[in-house]
Amino acid sequence: MTRALIVIDVQESFRARPLWATISDPKIADQVNRLVRLARQAGDLVVWVLHPSPAAATSSTRPSATSG
């Protein structure tokens, strides 16, 4: 069976949102990175889905696309 990990809307632009400090999980990046690393080690496809937002376009922490 072919498997894929789909990572949806996990990007830096969320930090630009007003509620980030209230609802954020500081460990989310580490958790996502771990899942991505394990998926790649298993030979699974990793798909990143990034939703552009006005906050991302004006934020100094714009998300960057990486291959893989």
* 4 backbone dihedrals φ, ψ, rounded to 5°: -145, 145
Q: Indicate if the pLDDT at residue 3 is higher than 90.
A: yes
Which of 8 and 61 is assigned the larger pLDDT?
A: 8
Q: For residues 10 and 28, give the distance between their C-alpha atoms in angstroms, rounded to a whole number.
A: 8
Task: Report pLDDT digits (tens) over 12-67.
Answer: 666 666 766 666 676 777 888 999 999 999 999 999 887 766 655 554 444 444 44
Strands, E assignment, 1-68: 4-8, 45-49
63 within 8 A of 23, measured Cβ to Cβ: no
Q: What pTM does this model have?
A: 0.59
